Amino acid sequence: MRPRNGSASIATPGHAFLDDNFDPQNVPAEYKKDGSDWFVIYNPKVKRSFDVTLVHSLMHASVVCCVQFSADGKYLATGCNRTAQIYDVKTGTKTCVLSDDSAGKSGDLYIRSVCFSPDGKFLATGAEDKQIRIWDIAKKRIRNIFDGHQQEIYSLVFSKDGRLIVSGSGDKTARIWNMYDLSNKCLTINDPDSLNNDAGVTSVAISPNGNLVAAGSLDTVVRIWDVQTGQLVERLRGHRDSVYSVAFTPDGRGLISGSLDKTLKYWDVSSLSGASSSNGAGGSAGNVSSSPSASAKDKSSSPCTMTFLGHKDYVLSVAVSPDGQWVVSGSKDRCVEFWDAATATLQCMLQGHKNSVISIDLSPSGNMLATGSGDSQARICESQCHLVFAPCPVIILTHPFAGSYTSA
C-alpha cells in the first residue's frame, strides 16, 4: 500500500460527514445501517466499498484489553482480568480459558496483550505482573515464562516464523525473545530528550520480512530497530501525544501509528525495508541502547505522508487489511473507523460499544473484524467487501492502559 498523493504530507479531514453536530438519528437511510444495538454510518461522498454486520457479542466479566485472531482465522483470543479466553469465531462459543492459578489472588491482574503463535499451538500473554506466559493451548498449561521486564507488559507479537516474540513494556524497553533457546535482546530507550519524559513502550510490531521492530511510546515517538543488529535505525516524530498503536503495512513499506492526539499517521519506511538480510532469527542476547551513538539518523528518512483525521478522542488501536487497501482504527470515542489507506479518506464509522474501543484486529482473510472494549464485551463483525483480500497476514498491535478508560 502506497499513498496516491506521492511523498507530500497531507492531512485529510475524514470526519467531514461526522461533524460536531452529527446526530445518527438524522442520517438518511441510504447512508446508515442499523442493528439492534449498533449502527454503521457511510460517507455519502465516496462509493460504498463494503458492508459491516455484527456476528457475535462475547460477554466478559471485566474490561476486554486485547483481541487477536489465530493465523487460520478460526479462533479469537481475548485478554481481560486474570484470564485469557479463546472463542470459536464461527459459533461464538468459548473453547478455552487460560488462568495462572499460581498468580496472587489479591487485586486485579489484567492481560494487556495476547498473541497466537503462527502454528496456532501456543498463546502468548503479557500482563501487569511483568511476565510473559507462553501457553500450550491444547494442554491449557504454561510452557514457558519469560521474565525480564521491570514494568507492565503492554504489547506482544510473534515473528512470522514463530521463532521470536517481541514485547513492549512500560519500563522503556522492547525485548526480542527466542522461543527455542529462551534468550532475549533488550532494546532500551534512553534518548537525551526522553530522560525527563515517560517513554514507556505501548505497542510493538515486526515488519513482514522480520527485519525490523517498531515501537510506539508514551513520549510521542515511534522508534524502529534492526532485529539482526539490535541497532536503532529510525525515530519517527510528528504526533503531539503518546503513540498507542503501530502496525506495518503488508508490503513492509509503510507504518501506521495511532495516537492520543486523535490522529493516525502513515509513515513511508521503504528506505528501511532492507535494513537486515536476515529473516529475523539472528542476533545474540544482550542489551542494546537507542542512544545517539546508535545508527539512527538525526534527520528522519521516513517521512509522514498522510495524517488521518476523524476520531473525536484518543486513537487506541490500529490495523491494516491483508491487501493493504484499508486502515481500521478503534478509539476512546467508542467508534471503529474504516479508512481508504491510499487517500486517508474515511469510508464509514461503526458504533455499538458503550465504552472505549480498546483493541481491534482483522482476520487473516480480511473479512472479519474483532473489537475489545471497556464495556466488558468483545465483538466479532463480518465485513463483506467488494474488493477481494489476498491471503496474507495482518500485523496488529494492541495498546495498554485499558483500565484507565472504563468510564463512559
Pure H helices in 126-237: none
* 391 in any annotated domain: no
pLDDT at 275 > cutoff 60: no
Indicate the pTM of the whole model: 0.87
Report if residue 322 sits inside a domain: yes
In 3D, which of 191, 186, 181, 180 has the Cα closest to residue 204?
A: 186
270 three-state secondary structure: helix
- pLDDT surpasses 80 at 20: no
Instruction: Give pLDDT, residue 106.
Output: 79
Asked if residue 353 is part of any domain, the answer here is yes
The pLDDT of residue 333? 98
**Residue 230 within a domain:** yes
Contact 134, 146 (CB under 8 A): yes
Answer yes or no: is 224 within a domain: yes
Q: Kindly list the distances between the CA atom of residue 373 and the CA atoms of 208, 305, 333, in Å, as whole numbers in the listed order.
A: 28, 30, 11
| Residue 251 covered by a domain | yes
The identity of residue 65, as a single letter, is C
What is the tens place of the pLDDT at every residue in 63-97? 999 999 999 999 999 999 999 999 999 999 999 99
**Amino acid symbol at 347:** Q
Tell me, what CATH number does 181's domain have? 2.130.10.10
Is the pLDDT confidence value at 36 over 60?
yes
Range of the domain at 356: 50-271+302-385
- Select the more confidently predicted residue: 126 or 29: 126
Tell whether 54 is covered by a domain: yes
What per-residue confidence (pLDDT) applies to 11? 59
Q: Which three cell numbers stand for residue 212?
A: 525490523
User: Which range, of 21-35, 171-185, 310-324, 346-360, averages the lowest pLDDT?
Assistant: 21-35
Q: Confirm whether 34 is domain-assigned.
A: no
**What total of structural domains would you count in the chain?**
1
pLDDT for 195 equals: 55
**What is the per-residue pLDDT for 189?**
87
